[in-house]
Chains A and B, each alone.
Chain A
C-alpha cells in the first residue's frame, strides 16, 4: 500500500501559507505556459505566489527575504521580539 488509493477519493488540497506559497497536496500536474508538464520531484509541492522565486513555479524561500505579505488572517505574534536569547 502506498497511500495513493485515498488520493482517488480525496480532492487535491491547497493550503495558502501566510506570507508564503500555496502548499499543494494531491495528484496534480503542473503545466507550463507552453503546455509542457513541469516535472515535480515530490508529492507535496509549494507553488510560489510572491513572484520572486528563481525556480518557478516552485517556491524557493525567496518570499522570506523580499517582504512578501499576504492578507491571510494572521495570528498575533507575541509582542516584542519573538526570539530567543542566545549567549554568544
Chain B
C-alpha cells in the first residue's frame, strides 16, 4: 500500500531546525562557529565568560542565553539547518553549554526548593507528587483559555507550546537507558503512547502539528523559536538539561510526573475554549487525546516511574520532587508572562504572526 503524505507531514518529521536569530553575543558567536563563519572557538568562550560575569536578573529570562542553549541542545535532537552533525560532541561547544547550564541550574535550585521526601515507598512518592501538583498555585492558563481566549490567543498559545510540543516526549526519552527495571518499563509504557502506540499519525507531536495547521499556523519544526520570549524557551531547555545528564535522572522522572499530573484537567479546558470559538476536531483532537491519555500517564508516572525509582534509590527522592516542582514553577512563570500580556491587551510574542 502506498501512503500519500501531505507535504506538511513529509516536511515535519525529518526536518532540522531553522537557525534562530541570536539575541546577543553568545548566540552570535555560537552560530558563527557552527556555520563555519569562524573556526576559532575563542570568541564563543569570551562571549560566555563576559555574559556570565555581568549581572543578569534571571538566566531563565535571559534571551541570549536561552536562545544559545536552544541551539546547543538542538544539536542532540534533529540538528540545525546547515550545521554539521559533528558539532554535537565538539568539546568547545560542550564546555560553553556546561557553563550556561551551571548558572541555569543554580538559579533553579535557588528559586525552587523542596522538602526531601522521608517516606520512599512508591505509593508515598506518588501521593506526595499528586499533592504537590494539586497544591500548585501558579496562574491558570487553562481557565483563562476556557473562558476568555479568542482565536489570536489560541494561536499564540500554540506558538509558545510548539517549541516543545513538536518534539513532545523526546527530552524524557533520554532517560530510558539510564533507568532499569520497573521505572524503565513505566517510562517506555508512557512514551509508547506519546509516540502514537504504533501509529505515526497518532504521535502527540503529529497531533499537535495538525492542531497548528488547523489554526493557520506553520507547523515547521522550530519555526517559531524567534517569536517566543526566553521564558518560553527556558522550560524545554531545562527538560533537555534534565534529560541529557544522567546525574539529573531523578529530576527528569519527577518532571514527567508533574507534567502528566497537570495535564488532563487543563487540556479539557483548552479543548473547551477552542470549541467555544468554533474550532473543529482537527484542532481539538490533540487536547482531547491528552485528557484521557494523561489520566493514564499520571498514574504510571507517579507510582511506577517516579515512585519505583525512589524506591530503588532513595537518594534520588529529593531530585524527583525537585524536578516535579521545577516543572510546575517554569509553567507558572511562563503563564504569568503570557497572561500578563493578554490582560494588558498585548501580544505575548516578540514578533507578530504574519
Contacts and interface: CB of A to CB of B under 8 A. Distances in A.
B294 A84 contact: no
B295 A58 contact: yes
A85 B112 contact: yes
Interface in B166-225: 189, 192-193, 197, 202
A21 B299 contact: yes
SS class of chain A's interface: helix, strand, loop or mixed? loop
A83 B135 contact: yes
B121 interface: yes
Contact of A84 (B127, B325, B333): B325
A29 B353 CA distance: 46
Nearest to A61: B264
Contacts, number: 121
Given A17-B303, A42-B193, A87-B111, A61 B121 contact: no
Contact of B291 (A60, A74, A75, A81): A60
Contact of B332 (A55, A65, A82, A86): A86
Interface string A60-76: 11101100000000111
A24 B222 CA distance: 37
A42 B329 CA distance: 30
A11 B321 CA distance: 33
Q: Which of A21, A74, A83 has the most chain B CB atoms inside 10 A of its CB?
A: A83
- Report the interface size class on chain B: 35 or more
Given A54-B268, A84-B112, A84-B321, A61 B294 contact: yes
A60 B115 contact: no
A60 B325 contact: no
B272 to A, nearest CB: 10
A18 B119 CA distance: 16
B123 interface: yes
B336 to A, nearest CB: 7
Contacts of A82: 115, 128, 131-132, 135
A4 B111 CA distance: 46
Contacts of A44: 189, 296, 300
Contact of B295 (A21, A74, A78): A21
B118 A78 contact: yes
A64 B325 contact: no
B193 A86 contact: no
B349 interface: no
B293 A88 contact: no
Contacts of B293: 41-42
B204 to A, nearest CB: 12
B130 interface: yes
A86 B325 contact: yes
Interface in A11-29: 15, 17-21, 23
B41 interface: no
Interface in B94-115: 110-115
Contacts of A18: 123, 126-127
Contacts of B321: 84
Contacts of B126: 18
B117 interface: yes
The 6 A-B residue pairs with the shortest CB-CB distance in the complex, in nearest-first order: A61-B264, A84-B325, A75-B124, A82-B131, A59-B295, A84-B114
Interface of A: 15, 17-21, 23, 41-46, 54-55, 58-62, 64-65, 74-78, 80-88
